Structure 1
Amino acid sequence: MPAGPRRAPNPDERQRDAERSRRLLLDAALREFAAHGYAGTKVADIAARAGVNKQLISYYFGGKEGIYRALHERWRERENEFAGPDTSLEQAVLSYLASGLTEPCPARLIAWSGLGDDGSPDVLADEDDEARARAWQQRGDLAGDVDPAAVLLAIRGMVMAPVIMPHLARRLLGTDPSDPEFRWRYGETLAGVIRRLAQPLPTAAEPAETPSRAE
């Protein structure tokens, strides 16, 4: 008996297929960009990893730059979930650390973009970071006499270090960054550093006045 005509997908099914394809492409792009950098990544490799037609990258994102920007936008949305306006600096830093150790690709992507001019679009939202740092300072998570932008840079470096330099982390701490013991030990150290940043910097003692010599 001949098979009947195939049923056309309804709008809900098409929407689910589109969302699935976008998710697969973004997941694949994250791993390709993290492994090869922007310049070294080809859209054909992203599509092959995702298991979809490479034309869908142009259809959904407009090309390589578009999917790169969409990837960073997705990360920003996730970042706002664990570093929102009601999150303390200590909680945010520990969440960043846990996220980076669980999924190292975003940190590696940032590292690639800083290694040189590889043609990657400038997607770092400095304004959001600075506003978040100022908010932490106003809440008392940072002392009023420290530079919030400089502190933010230092914190990012501390959080990313075990992700982009796992060999150094293993040598210095004796455990792999993927080990729960490393996460606990390093996280406790970071938490202690953050708590100290809430304390004002010590000031140098003023020199005592030299008594005048009697005439």
Structure 2
Amino acid sequence: MRRAPEEKQRDPERTKARIVQAALEEFAAKGFAGARVGEIAARAGVNKQLISYYFGGKEGLYQAINTRWQGEESAFADHGATLAELVAGYVRANSERRDFGKLMLWQGLTDDGPPDESFAEDMRRDVEQLRRRQEAGEFPADLDPAAVLVALFAMTAAGISFPQLVRAVCERDPASPEFGAYYAEQVQRLVAHLGDVPAS
């Protein structure tokens, strides 16, 4: 049975999406340096030449994953929400998209992966947004917004970075939706309390 022309046109997009998902899983499991293009191709069920054709190689795939994260982030990161709600949204996103969090942990632990010039710029922009939230009273004036950002990053990824701690003290599976919902609610409360504490 012959496929309609529009179905043929969609095939490359589906193939690219499969490759990006396979790359995300491989990078999350082994880091950028440990991941192999052949393994990514095998996971995706494609010839590895297609990875070069569509993405130009491993670095292009890594960038495609970053682009995918940014697209997903725009759907859950409501910058009009309170800081507590925003941070809770990141906790839920990390719980539901654990491979993205693992990828960032690999990058932090090994400092591998291609340089991402836009990352530092994005983080400086986030610090400025936190500074504005601080001026609006969402957290005390004696805290450095840069340090707050670092702490919030660590807090939102705790279910991924410290699974053994979660199992020991919360007696929950850190990969479960139940833990994600529970921890997001607790982090939201914690961050909301920052606005209740006057500067010393």
Q: Deviations over 1:147-203 (max 9, x none)?
A: 112111101101111112212210011111234543343223211221133346532
2:179 corresponds to which of 182, 185, 194:
182
1:113 and 2:74 are equivalent in the alignment? no
Report if the CA contact (8 A) 2:159-2:175 is conserved: no
Cα separation, 1, equivalents of 2:38 and 2:197: 53
Residue 57 of structure 1: CA displacement? 0.7
* Letter of the 2:87 counterpart: V
Report if the CA contact (8 A) 1:133-1:152 is conserved: yes
Cα separation, 2, equivalents of 1:64 and 1:117: 16
Q: CA RMSD in A?
A: 2.2
Report if the CA contact (8 A) 1:108-1:163 is conserved: yes
**Which residue is 1:96 aligned to?**
90
**Which residue is 2:146 aligned to?**
149
Structure of greater Rg? 1
What is the aligned residue count? 196
**Which residue is 1:30 aligned to?**
24
Q: Structure 1 residues 14 and 87 mapped into 2: Cα distance closer, same or farther (>3 Å)?
A: farther
Q: Which has the higher helix share?
A: 2
**Which residue is 1:158 aligned to?**
155
**Which residue is 2:43 aligned to?**
49
Q: Structure 1 residues 132 and 87 mapped into 2: Cα distance closer, same or farther (>3 Å)?
A: farther
Residue 14 of structure 1: CA displacement? 3.5
* Letter of the 1:39 counterpart: A
Residue 49 of structure 1: CA displacement? 0.3
Report if the CA contact (8 A) 1:130-1:148 is conserved: no
Task: List alignment gaps of at least 5 residues for structure 2.
Answer: none
TM-score, normalised with respect to structure 2:
0.87
Instruction: Point out the more displaced range, 89-98 or 125-134.
Output: 125-134
Report if the CA contact (8 A) 2:91-2:183 is conserved: no
Identity %: 41
Q: Deviations over 1:68-88 (max 9, x none)?
A: 111111112211222243233
Aligned to 2:110, the other structure's residue is in SS state coil
Aligned to 1:70, the other structure's residue is in SS state helix
2:167 corresponds to which of 167, 170, 179:
170
TM-score, normalised with respect to structure 1:
0.81
Residue 114 of structure 1: CA displacement? 1.2
Aligned to 1:115, the other structure's residue is in SS state helix
Cα separation, 1, equivalents of 2:93 and 2:3: 41
